[in-house]
Amino acid sequence: MPVEPVLVTGAGGGVGGVGRRILERLRARNVPVRALVHHDDERASELRAMGGVEVMVGDLTRGADVVKALAGCPRAYFGMSVSPVFLEAAATVAAAARESVGLELLVSISQMTVSQMDLAGDAESRQQRLHYLAEHILDWSGAPVLHVRPTVFMENPLFARVAAASIRRDGTIRLPFGSARTSPVAAADVAEVVTTLLLDPDPRTHRVYELTGARSRDMTAIAAEFSAALGREVTYVDVPYQEWLEHDLKNQDLPDHVFEHIATMARLHGENRYDRATNDVAELLGRPPLGFDTVVKDMLAR
């Protein structure tokens, strides 16, 4: 186990709370952690109270903050919420990692859509294009980086906010996916994979890990999973895309950059771009990926 701290960025929150989950798993293994957070708030205080966690307040787009955070950390996790400054943060981390003395491993979280992209494509969201460019910048830096590309999270607003709202209201999942198939992944699985990679004493030979749920299926099948978990009927309602944008997504009051990203993910789902399944979670963790039954009750309690 590492004696020096492992740097975890985004430990204060974010989509699925991956950074916080990684930190908790590292501490459960008695690994010292340096947590880089953006705000010194209640969440930062909670991290300090855990013990074995050095909390550092900083900005991933500020070089001085990132250099200071990386100092003395041989292994690090880079993750950031959906943000228009994501690429600036990734470039800053890449530059700092290139100059860092003693950095053995940087695990960076990306998106599985990057696996299907090229530079000339324009069908993806701005956030997805930022991830595509960020991976290139991190690779060009020469830093010892591994890319983790999860597919859509079970905790993504598509499910945890929009679908959850209609389930609470009338027992339906209203999404514009048609008969397309998808294989959402649990944030807990993503965090466990990243933790496994960070603690592996023998760096993995793969440079990219693609994380999905156990199988790809349509929304009718996923609605049946919700029904079984909740003990009551949940049905899928296929909603025309524009109607869904106006009557379902806009009600979530999301920032413009996040709204565009989620709207694009929904459109790509309808085009069957998320019909994919890999064995990476099972191979790394030695167990099948988690299902919706592990998150649905918490999802509806929000």
Please give the pLDDT value at position 285. 95
Task: For residues 176 and 138, state if they share a domain.
Answer: no
Assigned domain for 87 exists? yes
Instruction: Write down which residue in 211, 226, 248 finishes a domain.
Output: 211
Q: Name, in order, each residue with C-beta under 8 angstroms of 19's C-beta and a sequence gap of 6 or more.
A: 8, 9, 10, 11, 12, 13, 35, 77, 79
Please give the pLDDT value at position 94. 98
Instruction: Tell me the CATH number at 114.
Output: 3.40.50.720
For residues 101-107, give the mean pLDDT: 94
Task: For residues 84 and 167, state if they share a domain.
Answer: no
Q: What percent of the chain has pLDDT over 90?
A: 88
Task: For residues 10 and 43, state if they share a domain.
Answer: yes
| Residue 11: pLDDT band with limits 50, 70, 90 | confident
Assigned domain for 203 exists? yes
pTM of the model as a whole: 0.95
Question: Rounded to an integer, what distance in angstroms lies between the CA atom of residue 271 and that of residue 267?
Answer: 6
| Residue 206: pLDDT band with limits 50, 70, 90 | confident
Please give the pLDDT value at position 202. 66
Taking only Cα atoms into account, the Rg of the chain, rounded to an integer number of angstroms, comes to: 19
Q: Is the pLDDT of residue 16 over 90?
A: no
Assigned domain for 286 exists? no
Assigned domain for 283 exists? no
Please give the pLDDT value at position 298. 82
Quote the number of domains for the chain: 2
Please give the pLDDT value at position 228. 95
List, in sequence order, the alpha helices (H) in 121-217.
126-140, 157, 164-170, 187-199
Assigned domain for 248 exists? yes
Asked if residue 143 lies in contact with residue 74, where contact means CB atoms within 8 angstroms, the answer is: no
Question: Rounded to an integer, what distance in angstroms lies between the CA atom of residue 55 and that of residue 25?
Answer: 16
List, in sequence order, the alpha helices (H) in 60-118.
63-70, 86-99
Between these two residues, 164 and 200, which has the higher pLDDT value?
Answer: 164
Task: For residues 38 and 161, state if they share a domain.
Answer: no
Assigned domain for 282 exists? no
Structural domain containing residue 75:
6-153+185-211
Task: For residues 73 and 121, state if they share a domain.
Answer: yes
Assigned domain for 175 exists? yes
Query: Token match 């459960």: residue?
Result: 28
Task: For residues 73 and 177, state if they share a domain.
Answer: no
Type of residue numbered 11 = A
Strands (E) located in 12-122: 33-37, 53-57, 75-78, 105-109
Q: What percent of the chain has pLDDT over 70?
A: 96
Task: For residues 56 and 166, state if they share a domain.
Answer: no
Task: For residues 256 and 227, state if they share a domain.
Answer: yes
Type of residue numbered 191 = A
